Amino acid sequence: MPSIGKPTLKKLLTNPCFPFGFVLSVFFILPRYGSGVVMFACAALISAYVFAMPESFLSRGGSLLMAKCLAGGMWVLWAIVVAVNEFS
């Protein structure tokens, strides 16, 4: 029997079923728990892509610095959403 190999974050993110499951959970399951949870999931996904596949952001059309800024901005916005929801 052939070995499947060690599961890695890159294999998970490049699996064709992963985006389908993620979109379904963000649109239909996570909104029940509030906007902070949805924002956390989106920020975590972007951070995972930047961490696992930085080479895909180093092409002519992409920029690793901009991807890191986007991920950082998503985490800042998540903190703002949680703070606004908590204190309002």
The pLDDT of residue 27: 87
The pLDDT of residue 22: 87
- Considering the entire predicted model, what is its pTM? 0.79
**In angstroms, how far is CA 9 from the centroid of its own chain?**
12
Q: Are 57 and 63 in contact (CB under 8 A)?
A: yes
The residue behind tokens 């080479």 is 55
How far, in Å, CA of 66 to CA of 54, rounded?
11
How far, in Å, CA of 53 to CA of 58, rounded?
10
pLDDT digits (tens, 9 = 90+) for 51-60: 998 888 887 6
pLDDT digits (tens, 9 = 90+) for 24-80: 888 898 889 988 899 999 999 999 989 998 888 887 666 888 999 999 999 999 999
